[in-house]
Amino acid sequence: MALRKVKGNLERMFDKNLTDLVRGIRNNKETESKYISQCMEEIKTELRQDNLAVKANAVAKLTYLQMLGYDISWAGFNIIEVMSSPKFTYKRIGYLSASQCFHQDTEVLMLTTNMIRKDLNSHNMYDSGTALTGLACFISGDLARDLANDVMTLLTSTKPYLRKKAVLLLYKVFLKFPEALRPAFPRLKEKLEDPDPGVQSAAVNVICELARKNPKNYLSLAPVFFKLMTSSTNNWMLIKIIKLFGALTPLEPRLGKKLIEPLTNLIHSTSAMSLLYECINTVIAVLISISSGMPNHNASIQLCVQKLRILIEDSDQNLKYLGLLAMSKILKTHPKSVQAHKDLVLQCLDDKDESIRLRALDLLYGMVTKKTVMEIVRRLMTHMDRAEGTMYRDELLQKIILICSQNNFQYITNFEWYVSVLVELCRMEGTQHGGLIASQLMDVAIRVVAVREFTVGQMALLLDNAHVIVGPAAARSSIAEVLYAAAWICGEFSQLLANPKATLESMVRGKVVSLPGHIQAIYVHNMLKLYAHIIATAEEEDDSEMIEEVTNLLLERLPVFVSSGDLEVQERASCIVHIVTYVQKCHKHGDKVGADLALLMTGELNPVAPKAQKKVPLPDGLDLDAWINDPPSESEEEEDDALEKEIFVKADSSYKHRKEKYEPSEEELQKLRDARRAEQASNPYYVKSSALSSPRPNHNSIQVDEIPVTAIDLNVSLKIPGMTSLDKYQVVDGWQDGGKKRHKKQKKRSKRKGQVSSSSEEEINRMHVVNTDIGEMPEGAHLSDDYEIDDRPEDDPHRALDINLDEPLSPNEVLPTRTHYEAHAQRKIESNNEAKLIPSEIPLKMKTRNKKERKEKKEKTKKVKKEEKKVKKKPSRDANLILDLIDPLKETVISDKVPVAANHINGIADAKNKEKTSDDLDFWLSKELSQTPESCMDGTTKTASPSTPSSSKDDSKSKKTKTKKEKKAKKEKDRDKPEKKLKKNEKEIDTLSRNRDEYEETNGTVTQEVEEKLAVPEPQPYSRLLAEDSHIRIVYSTAAMDGVMSEILVCIKFISQSSKPISKLQLILPDSSALKMIRTDPQSELVNLPWSLDPGESKETQLSFTAEDVTIPHKLRGSLSYIQDGSSSSSDISLRLEFPVTTFLSGKTASRATFTDLLSSGQLSARSSFTLPNCPWSFPEVLEELTLGGSLAVVECVDQTASLYGRSLHGHHVCLLVKYQASHHLTIDGKSTEGILLSNALDHLKTTLMQKQ
């Protein structure tokens, strides 16, 4: 035995260790791969040995090789062996290796669960620490589910070292196993107040990460973070908190107002640049969220801009870069303040660092005004000439076009100039943005009628000089696309061409065949248009020579296209050949066909709205997904798609509408034209055609006057005679810098002054009208009815983390614990069905059981658990690890239930706090808002709502001690609360349990109520249960009375359950401050019901109420007394009528038109929404609940999405969008004219939808 050991040691001494390996690799630079493959072989033999030290050494070497790029995934099992070593030295190496090469899909990971659990629970702090850090790298969904509870346990460890690592790991757990978030969150929140700053900061980190992705669920934490922010001096943590606030403020402008002051203080005081930068960013976010109404609003903006200027002027490139980045954020909302620093930005354009130049470019985009656009573009063009590298040049080109075209050419006053810019841009070599230029050219030609002639002229020149544009360098660029635009424009507006025949000649000539197919197709098609135009004019002038010439030209050249390899070209060409031959034949007979031919192409071209295609309503009974015929082979379609490049509309790929194919009937056209003319006549901004002087002569005069003044750059070989050049605009507009030309400039200016005074024509010229209509839409469709969509990718784990944390925890929401494998498997199935994990040990499914029983049982299980724990502790830690690890399926139940049970109670207790904090937030944010919902509540319900902020403070202070005493406290509460209530109102208890009051629900008796509720059959959705005893059952329904202001009709139905007749029913309903009943006798609170109830009979009575404020829920207390025949005394039942805000809504006035008008009008300023990730209801059920229970009307319903509308008695509008996704994911977005009403309505709907779960 000893001999073998010694032998092993000797062998080991000859092994390579890590240092040897590294050294070896460095010494074998030439033959590295050979050396390493040799090492790999050695490692493989080492791994086969029994000695763990050898194995660990091998794994360490593998880890190093992995970094060099070698695959070591084959060694996964060996890595796990090393990880499972009881020695920290080896364990450390094993975990390091695992964290480097395992990932969530690594198969061997499923073997590690129990080993990692053992490590997490190890008595050695560093074992657990290593396991925590390792797990953070390779955690998978299964590991997260199985280990969530162990990580949670570590949160309460006595060692801060473990607490903080566990907190950070929780984030990864949530990402992989979102169900853990809700049960774990209370504990995580507690860590914000941890005595150790490291743990605190870790908790801030995690919550900040969570909140940034789904901010709305974390709003209620704002007060806690605010306190931390104002008290902490830890910059690392401050940055995170401030970042978190940056995410929250867009949702709650009031929060922003509160933040401004401390943030500006920090900006003034801090010396840490990172903190300063973060503060500025958040201040910007705040300022964006609060649009106005801030007194020192401007001061903060100024402060930010000032500080940013300092950053930008700093010599540190990093600060410069970030300064520009932040500046561009301010620009969006406060362009004025940034424009003052134009000099600085232009200066940055000359920076050596390309990334800084690009940032500056971004800024320029927003700094453009009508006055500066020409100068800025000119500067950019000069930059472009100088720019090295096509990437940056392309970026510049794109920016120029973006700057000019933004907001429907908002800043362009002179479109001839813009067309010239575009033409100039065509000469940029090797650009990838040919398509962009082309679409701009077409856009301008179509929408700016005034420069159409000019544009057409320029395009004709472009076509004529196509060979220059499509030079040798064109192969790598997309510049040929501009020819597409040129051909189309010339064809479409052929009547504006100076010499159509010449253009046609230039189109058929030369290298057209070498162009891409889709451009050739456009060429061919537009030849026909030109041809038609030429024929028509020639026929009028009886120019038969011309006709013949043109016809022959086409017949001669078209065969080239007919034999094209491109299907589209071929098809179009052969079609045109036949048309032309037909025309030729007709002419031979002496027939005139020009007019008929022209008819092929007539029709005004109107812009079509980008969303038009999407909005075409689906006709009834049309199923677009159904096959009409059997699926065809797809190859041809693909080819077609490739042909249709998006040139008309650049953004929307689904929209590929070929405009020239749209041929409305003559009548329609006439109607449209008349309508348009009428509109133009009444539009004062539209330049009337009579007043429109042709820009052409004017342009010529400029040309003649100005061209000699500027030196023509002879280096540019691309100058095309007659083609526009930017230079003249430069001079005309006086945008020249530098002193040397000043005299010239002055001269020019004076000259121009003279011109301006003498002619108003130029003014008109500069005021080109852009057709900026949204474009044509199908009937009945509106642009506006679009809601924002969650644009995160489908697989983003944060989508699943959009979980409301303010909802009280339901008892079945606990972290899963380990069970027998069979149970585990079953659970998995369950989780598939319900998307919720219900551990089978916790017997929650038993519905009716009294409290005592439950308590007993709990204690029992606790005892059992303790025993189990004792048993568990007995076996030594050195038990056969490998066995345990390889065969986890045989595992038995180990005591893990204690933390779960604690957590369970913890959760409920915390749910109460949550309820408080969400109310707290409102209170905290606006103390002046006295009319919060709680303050209107009846006094007895106040137990759950906060009275002062100090109470919440106390609450948080006592939290630390709470955890331990929680159980005890909870029991006491259970005992105390009902007693108190009994004193108050004995009979109330009966009705309470079936009441829907959520405030009561959060009292100590919550679990009982929830369970009992399950046992009671739900009443009809529209009528709610008011009260019930052994003799009588009372239900009620409410309806808002249309037409009668503020009146609510309550219909109360009495159902006898007694065997004897009931008589002398009397309702006592005293008015509350906000809700009054309309009575016959205003003095009396009594309502006598003039009838009696026979056994089994039911009768109704109607009462009317008026409400002063319909934006908040109301309730009314009262009682009913009656006498049962045979008994001498009367019986009493207490009642409580509830009026959730939806009571005051009515959907009767809903119509699609008003709905869309409302949405587009912008009146609906308030927004709110909520999400139920696991809605147990089907979509129709949800709709039914919303329409019956929520008294809203469905306006439109498509698939699983519906729009609903309701109008309150006071005229507030409420619009809802209900989206139901396949995975039972329900989202309701609301918009309203009244924020409080909306949030109350959504709260109510949410609780009703949740309650039935």
How far lies 1142's CA from each of 280, 1147, 1181, in Å? 42, 10, 18
Residue 1167 Cβ, how far from another protein at the closest point, in Å? 22
Residue 125 Cβ, how far from another protein at the closest point, in Å? 9
Q: State the burial class of residue 691 (Cβ atoms within 10 Å of its Cβ: 0-12, 13-18, 19+).
A: exposed
Work out which of 278, 727, 785, 896 binds another protein, going by CB under 8 A. Answer: 278
Is 800 an interacting residue with respect to another protein (CB under 8 A)? no
Is 172 an interacting residue with respect to another protein (CB under 8 A)? yes
Work out which of 118, 216, 320, 1114 binds another protein, going by CB under 8 A. Answer: 320
How far lies 388's CA from each of 199, 203, 343, 1174, in Å? 51, 48, 23, 56
The residue type of 315 is S
For another protein, which is the closer residue by CB, 4 or 658? Answer: 4
Is 1066 an interacting residue with respect to another protein (CB under 8 A)? no
Per residue, the 3-state secondary structure of 1027-1061, as one string, reads EECCCEEEEEEEEECCCCCCEEEEEEEEEECCCCC
Among the residue ranges 102-110, 830-838, 912-920, 1139-1147, the one whose residues contact another protein (CB under 8 A): 102-110
Report 35-54 residues binding another protein (CB under 8 A): 53
Work out which of 117, 145, 164, 587 binds another protein, going by CB under 8 A. Answer: 164
How far apart are alpha carbons 831 and 834 in whole angstroms? 5
Residue 355 Cβ, how far from another protein at the closest point, in Å? 6
Distance, CA of 365 to chain centre: 24
For another protein, which is the closer residue by CB, 214 or 413? Answer: 214
Work out which of 180, 247, 367, 844 binds another protein, going by CB under 8 A. Answer: 247
Is 2 an interacting residue with respect to another protein (CB under 8 A)? yes
Q: For another protein, how many residues bind (rule: CB under 8 A)?
A: 70
DSSP calls for 811-839: TT--------HHHHHHHHHHHHHHSS---
The residue type of 576 is I
Distance, CA of 1155 to chain centre: 24
Report 324-363 residues binding another protein (CB under 8 A): 352-356
The residue type of 88 is F
Q: Which of 819, 868, 836 is nearest to 146 (CA)?
A: 819
Is 133 an interacting residue with respect to another protein (CB under 8 A)? yes
Work out which of 132, 184, 461, 507 binds another protein, going by CB under 8 A. Answer: 132
Among the residue ranges 148-156, 272-280, 595-603, 1214-1222, the one whose residues contact another protein (CB under 8 A): 272-280
Is 177 an interacting residue with respect to another protein (CB under 8 A)? no
Residue 236 Cβ, how far from another protein at the closest point, in Å? 5
Work out which of 4, 13, 14, 19 binds another protein, going by CB under 8 A. Answer: 19
265 backbone dihedrals φ, ψ, rounded to 5°:
-60, -45
CB contact at 8 A, 1135 and 1118: yes
How far apart are alpha carbons 345 and 564 in whole angstroms? 51
Binding mask 65-84 for another protein (x = CB under 8 A): --xxx-x-x-----------
CA-based angle 1136:1137:1140, to the nearest 5? Answer: 125
Residue 128 Cβ, how far from another protein at the closest point, in Å? 12
Is 225 an interacting residue with respect to another protein (CB under 8 A)? no
1230 backbone dihedrals φ, ψ, rounded to 5°:
-125, 145
Element (H, E) at 166: helix 160-176
Is 582 an interacting residue with respect to another protein (CB under 8 A)? no
Among the residue ranges 18-26, 396-404, 678-686, 1194-1202, the one whose residues contact another protein (CB under 8 A): 18-26
Among the residue ranges 31-39, 162-170, 870-878, 1052-1060, the one whose residues contact another protein (CB under 8 A): 162-170
How far apart are alpha carbons 1238 and 1208 in whole angstroms? 10
For another protein, which is the closer residue by CB, 136 or 687? Answer: 136
Is 182 an interacting residue with respect to another protein (CB under 8 A)? no
Work out which of 88, 582, 662, 1091 binds another protein, going by CB under 8 A. Answer: 88
For another protein, which is the closer residue by CB, 140 or 1233? Answer: 140
Distance, CA of 104 to chain centre: 26
Q: Give residues with Cβ within 8 angstroms of 363, minimum separation 6.
A: 324, 327, 328, 331, 338, 345
In the structure encoding, which two tokens stand for residue 466, read together? 């196509």
For another protein, which is the closer residue by CB, 87 or 614? Answer: 87
CB contact at 8 A, 1164 and 1158: yes
Place of tokens 């050249």: 557
Residue 318 Cβ, how far from another protein at the closest point, in Å? 5
Query: What would you measure as the largest C-alpha separation in the chain, in angstroms?
Result: 120
Q: Where are the alpha helices (DSSP H) in 662-800?
A: 666-682, 695-706, 727-732, 742-758, 761-766, 797-800
Work out which of 7, 103, 753, 828 binds another protein, going by CB under 8 A. Answer: 103
The residue type of 108 is V
Is 210 an interacting residue with respect to another protein (CB under 8 A)? no
For another protein, which is the closer residue by CB, 87 or 960? Answer: 87
Work out which of 15, 46, 209, 1011 binds another protein, going by CB under 8 A. Answer: 209
Binding mask 288-317 for another protein (x = CB under 8 A): -----------------------------x
Work out which of 40, 108, 137, 936 binds another protein, going by CB under 8 A. Answer: 137
Is 392 an interacting residue with respect to another protein (CB under 8 A)? no
For another protein, which is the closer residue by CB, 278 or 1009? Answer: 278
The count of other CB atoms within 10 Å of the CB of residue 792 is 13
DSSP calls for 433-498: -HHHHHHHHHHHHHH-GGGHHHHHHHHHHHHHTHHHHS-GGGGGS-TTHHHHHHHHHHHHTGGG-S
Is 228 an interacting residue with respect to another protein (CB under 8 A)? no
Q: By three-state DSSP, how is residue 74 classified?
A: helix
Residue 314 Cβ, how far from another protein at the closest point, in Å? 11
Please, what is the end-to-end C-alpha distance for the chain in angstroms?
67
Among the residue ranges 86-94, 187-195, 544-552, 841-849, the one whose residues contact another protein (CB under 8 A): 86-94
In the structure encoding, which two tokens stand for residue 230, read together? 């104002």
Is 5 an interacting residue with respect to another protein (CB under 8 A)? yes
Residue 89 Cβ, how far from another protein at the closest point, in Å? 5
Q: By three-state DSSP, how is residue 1231 classified?
A: strand
Among the residue ranges 238-246, 336-344, 980-988, 1178-1186, the one whose residues contact another protein (CB under 8 A): 238-246
Report 1152-1171 residues binding another protein (CB under 8 A): none
Among the residue ranges 204-212, 336-344, 401-409, 1084-1092, the one whose residues contact another protein (CB under 8 A): 204-212
Is 234 an interacting residue with respect to another protein (CB under 8 A)? yes
Among the residue ranges 135-143, 178-186, 409-417, 1062-1070, the one whose residues contact another protein (CB under 8 A): 135-143
Is 236 an interacting residue with respect to another protein (CB under 8 A)? yes
Work out which of 28, 121, 142, 212 binds another protein, going by CB under 8 A. Answer: 212
b/e map 1030-1064, b = 16+ CB within 10 Å: ebbbbbbbbbbeeeeebbbbbebebebebeeebee
Is 11 an interacting residue with respect to another protein (CB under 8 A)? no
Q: State the burial class of residue 753 (Cβ atoms within 10 Å of its Cβ: 0-12, 13-18, 19+).
A: exposed
Binding site for another protein (CB under 8 A): 2, 5, 9, 18-19, 22, 53, 60, 63-64, 67-69, 71, 73, 87-89, 92-93, 96, 99-101, 103-105, 124, 126, 129-130, 132-133, 136-138, 161, 164-165, 168-169, 171-172, 198, 201-202, 205-206, 209, 212, 234, 236, 239, 243, 246-247, 273-274, 277-278, 317-318, 320-322, 352-356
